Amino acid sequence: MLSSADFQNRLIRYMPEQKPEKPDKAEKDAMIAEIRRLLKEKNAVLITHYYTDPEIQKLAEETGGFIGDSLEMARFGAGHSAETLVIVGVRFMGESAKILSPQKTILMPSLEAECSLDIGCEPEEFRSFCEQNSDRTVVVYANTSAAVKALADWTVTSSIAVDVVKHLAQKGEKIIWAPDRFLGDYIKRNTNADMLLWNAYCIVHAEFDAAKIEELKQIHSDAEVLVHPESQPEVIALADVVGSTSQLLKASQQRSARKFIVATETGILYKMQQASPEKEFIFAPTSSVSSGISCEADCPWMKMNTLQNLLEVLQSFNNRIELPDDVIKRALIPLERMVNFRK
């Protein structure tokens, strides 16, 4: 099982060295025009996560591509006819696209865009944990490597995790859950399932600070609190709505409140504000967690995706996601269960 010290050391090793530089307006416009041209010429489509830079989300929208949560990205890519999928997010999203569409070319602007959950769950370590508890059904979060998925019975995203575990628990199955211990704890409390939890967490969502959110609620007593379930239990306890990024976006549109305190990554603001321009969104305050890394609700790896490296990958077709055939074959089993679950 992962120790806190090992996790912290690995996080430091994988952290991006610096924040990308911002181009000026003329450079930006020229890059956007060239990206649009290359997408058409090369029969490629942009599939982006809500946490990426708003300029990239806008470009995906305007070029027939897609913005969504990790489950929707996987479903969109699997169903799209383009020969090349450009996955703008973090590495596990590119790997999921490759597993679901092995015949397609899968490109990513940066292959170093990691995720703290994936970093915190190495395949060999996880394999021995599964072997020690071989009577249990293995359910892993989508935020894992292809090699970890290849060890699993089920893959889930935050939008379906509770429903899938409930479904398994009703059949009497005991569960191994990895890697997010806070999401695992949330699922356990909402299903009463017998679950063994792995010990990693998301360094972005774990930073939201319950005491500071309570103070903010007192100042904005008319605001509702929207929380992603990768947050700590005390933060989840303050939520009016707990859900995946898409579920939180939907709640911000459908609920009658005019003001929201949002405990998820800052990139979501682009779609929330676009869908409800008359509403006010305030980001939940953060404080440092034990990792010692400060994110302030900005995922450092999601923000490695820039117009610059998006353009470069469309020019070079480098940064392809390639996976061994046996890993694709085995990881497809839990991943297909995920994309086909109650569609």
Instruction: State the residues that interact with ligand 13P by CB under 6 A.
Output: 69-71, 143, 157-158, 202, 230, 244-245
CB of 191 or CB of 245, closer to ligand 13P: 245
Judged by beta carbon distances under 5 to 8 A according to partner kind, the member of ligand SF4, ligand 13P, none in contact with residue 295 is none
H/E element, 310: helix 307-316
Site membership for ligand SF4, residue 87 (CB under 6 A): no
Judged by beta carbon distances under 5 to 8 A according to partner kind, the member of ligand 13P, ligand SF4, none in contact with residue 31 is none
**Binding map of ligand SF4 across residues 154-193, x = CB under 6 A, - = no contact:** ----------------------------------------
Chosen residue from 52, 96, 110, 116 binding ligand SF4 by CB under 6 A: 116
Chosen residue from 11, 86, 90, 210 binding ligand SF4 by CB under 6 A: 90
CB of 143 to ligand SF4, least distance (A): 5
Give the count of alpha carbons within 13 A of 149, CB side only: 32
* Spatial CB neighbours of 130, under 8 Å, sequence gap ≥ 6: 136, 138, 151, 176
CB of 323 to ligand 13P, least distance (A): 20
- C-alpha 48/C-alpha 85 separation (Å) is 10
CB of 105 or CB of 244, closer to ligand 13P: 244
Give the count of alpha carbons within 13 A of 340, CB side only: 8
Neighbours of 49 (CB within 10 A): 27
Give the count of alpha carbons within 13 A of 56, CB side only: 30
Which residues ranging from 9 to 38 are in contact with ligand SF4 (CB under 6 A)?
none
Pairing of strands 154-156, 175-178: unpaired
Residue 161's nearest CA partner among 228, 210, 209 is: 228
CB of 283 to ligand SF4, least distance (A): 14
Answer for the pair 143, 179: CB distance below 8 angstroms, yes or no.
yes
CB of 116 or CB of 137, closer to ligand 13P: 116
Judged by beta carbon distances under 5 to 8 A according to partner kind, the member of ligand 13P, ligand SF4, none in contact with residue 116 is ligand SF4
| Length in residues, the chain | 343
Judged by beta carbon distances under 5 to 8 A according to partner kind, the member of ligand 13P, ligand SF4, none in contact with residue 301 is ligand SF4
Map residue 319 onto helix, strand or coil.
coil
Stretch that binds ligand SF4, among 29-37, 114-122, 217-225, 328-336 (CB under 6 A): 114-122
| 136 backbone dihedrals φ, ψ, rounded to 5° | -105, 150
| 120 backbone dihedrals φ, ψ, rounded to 5° | -85, 5
- C-alpha 246/C-alpha 159 separation (Å) is 8
Q: Which amino acid is at 119?
A: I
Which residues ranging from 229 to 248 are in contact with ligand SF4 (CB under 6 A)?
230
Binding interface with ligand SF4 (CB under 6 A): 90, 115-117, 143, 202-205, 230, 265, 299, 301-302
